Amino acid sequence: MKKSYLNKILLIKGINKPKIKSFYNYIGLNSRISAVKFKRRQLSTLNQKITKIETGKKLKEKIKNIINFSIKIRTYKGMRHKLRYPTRGQRTHTNAKTRRKFRH
């Protein structure tokens, strides 16, 4: 059985299921339909919607810039990033082993 077009699009970084389902609803498609049954106009409108979103390298670069800016203005979150601690309120005494594992 072939993968649906939905699963292929989900491999792109920055796109999740709710976003894709909203695109499908906008175009008027069923999310379970295979890509073979798409019409050219539907594929082109879907591709236009996807290109408007920041994905892949653009998204990574944007996140990196946001983190560097928060480090530069010395916010609490920025300092946590700089010291390589968890930034979203997790414990550091017994947890955060994964975050500490990648320290060099």
pLDDT greater at residue 96 or residue 54: 54
Q: Where in the chain is the domain with CATH 4.10.910?
A: 57-101
* Cα–Cα distance measured from residue 81 to residue 93, given in angstroms and rounded to the nearest whole number: 17
8 band by pLDDT with thresholds 50, 70 and 90: confident
Q: What pLDDT score does 79 carry?
A: 94
The pTM (predicted TM-score) of the whole model is: 0.63
Q: What pLDDT score does 20 carry?
A: 82
* Cα–Cα distance measured from residue 21 to residue 19, given in angstroms and rounded to the nearest whole number: 5
* CATH topology for the 57-101 domain: 30s ribosomal protein s13; domain 2 (4.10.910)
Q: Is 73 helix (H, G, I), strand (E, B) or coil?
A: coil
Tens of pLDDT, residues 64-86: 999 999 999 999 999 999 988 88
Question: Is the alpha carbon torsion for 61, 66, 70, 73 positive or negative?
Answer: positive
